[in-house]
Amino acid sequence: MFAASIMKSNTIKKAEISSQIIKNFKSEILNRYVTFEIILPPDFNENTKKTYPFLILNDGQDNEAVKIKEALIHFFNHNLETSFITIGIHAGERLQEYGVAGKPDFKKRGSKADLYTHFLMKELLPVLGKTFRCDLYSKKNVIAGYSLGGLSAIDIAWNNDHIFSKAAAFSGSFWWRKKALDKGYKDETDRILLSEIKKSKLKPNLRFWFQAGTQDEKSDRNNNGIIDAIDDTLDLITILAQKGYRPYDDVVYYQIEQGEHIPETWAHAMPEFLNWAFSTK
């Protein structure tokens, strides 16, 4: 186990956040040690009985590159009445633990996505609830990620809407497919997450935020002049709209012109995401 001893981060104006990197969290489910960074809000030590909603970030090893602390300090300076805890989980076997739970892709990647989901729900979150007073049922909890981590975040939220109310993907890998492009692949049936959501029941308590950049990639498999990263994201948004989710209210799309598939682009989008996720204004 680990202690809730926290190192102070830089202070800008009024907000002061605290952080700690945990390196020895043993997961029996994943059969490995998991590293994660926990970032606490300015008022964490002011009221030792208060519980907090939380933000889970897949690919937490990119926290510094996406400037999450700077974005959090800016957010808390402008939202003094809002507090939440951020947990950035470092990726392990990334190509196996991220994906769609129980549905590996055509190269058998994502074979441990179900285990990663179970680790999060059954091992990590209960401990965070006890140790850092994360409120597992606050109805304000959010999960997000980048690229494959974004695919994973949407999948986890979709299947655990009793814990998460919002989910987000930065440059989400929604191309994740059952078949290779040269093996009879079809957009309509072979993008795994899109297919799973399309045949599922509506999850009325969920809200979604998607970011894509116009330079996320060069591929355009259907030659329609739109890169696949944007096509796949917009197709998922269409499926959500068909299920009854309202554009702008329930589903937000944030496109960055010249945005690339890199942390610097995601850092640019981070303040916008945090405002959507937690701002009460």
pLDDT at 279: 84
Model confidence over 97-151: pLDDT tens digits?
999 999 999 999 999 999 999 999 999 999 999 999 999 999 999 999 999 999 9
Q: Please report the domains of the chain, with CATH numbers, ordered by start residue.
A: 7-278 (3.40.50.1820)
- Tell me, what amino acid is at 174? F
Pairing label, strands 32-40, 15-27: antiparallel
Model confidence over 11-23: pLDDT tens digits?
444 678 999 999 9
pLDDT at 80: 85
Mean pLDDT by 10 residues, the chain (281 residues): 46 72 96 98 87 98 97 94 96 97 97 98 97 94 98 98 97 97 94 97 96 96 95 97 94 98 98 92 54
| pTM for this model (two decimals) | 0.93
Helix residue ranges, H only, the chain: 68-78, 94-97, 113-118, 125-132, 148-159, 187-190, 192-198, 228-243, 263-278
CA 112-221-237 angle, 5° bins: 65
pLDDT at 46: 77
The answer to whether 35 and 22 are in contact (CB under 8 A) is: yes
Task: Spell out a b/e string for 230-250, using b for 16 or more CB atoms within 10 Å of the CB, else e.
Answer: bbbbbbbbebbeeeebeeeeb
